[in-house]
Each structure stands twice: as C-alpha cells, then as structure tokens.
Amino acid sequence: MNQLKQLLSTLKKRDELFHQERDELRNDFLLRGICETEVDGLLDDPSLFPTSWLPETLRWKSLSEAGNVLPVLLKEAALYLECDVPPLIEKEEAEKMIQSKK
C-alpha cells in the first residue's frame, strides 16, 4: 500500500508539472502568433518536455477514467517513472486514492 501511495503521489506531482509546463508553452506559442491548431499539434511532442512528459494514458485524467485497466496502467507508470512496482494493485483501492487526490 505504501508503494501505491508513493507511486500515485509521484504521478500526481509529475502530472501537475507536465500540465503547468504545457500551459506555459501553449501561451508562449500563442503569443508568438502560432495558430491554436498548430500549437495543439506541437504540444504532442515529448521533446518539448524533457523532464515532465507523460504519455496520455498515464496522465491523471486518464488514470481517473481507466476503469478495469487501472492496475495495468499503474504498473506501466511505475516502470515509466522508474519507481518500485507495487506487487498487488487493487483497482478499488487505487481508484479511491486517485479520487481523493483530485
């Protein structure tokens, strides 16, 4: 359970950092006169976020809507973030923790 809490805490912080950097870049691009459609495409480039990029499936919003695949995604997230992989991830417990961190 402690590993799961640590993983979710790390994921939440990374998600917040990613979205903060994404918003800042988006505003910067728009101020430079780049059209919104092009900006949205540019923001899908992981190289713009060398320390904060998260794949779409590992972002907090996706995890909160993952349903039955949540344990699989959390194991994937642990590997992606190079965290300890919790040995057993109970979907209901993980969902409660995610909902409490919204």
Q: Which pLDDT score, from 0 to 100, does residue 10 have?
A: 95
Q: Which pLDDT score, from 0 to 100, does residue 64 have?
A: 94
Q: What is the pLDDT of residues 24-75, one digit of tens each?
A: 999 999 999 999 999 999 999 999 999 999 999 999 999 999 999 999 999 9
Q: Where are the alpha helices (DSSP H) in 1-90?
A: 2-31, 36-42, 60-64, 70-80
Q: Which pLDDT score, from 0 to 100, does residue 26 have?
A: 97
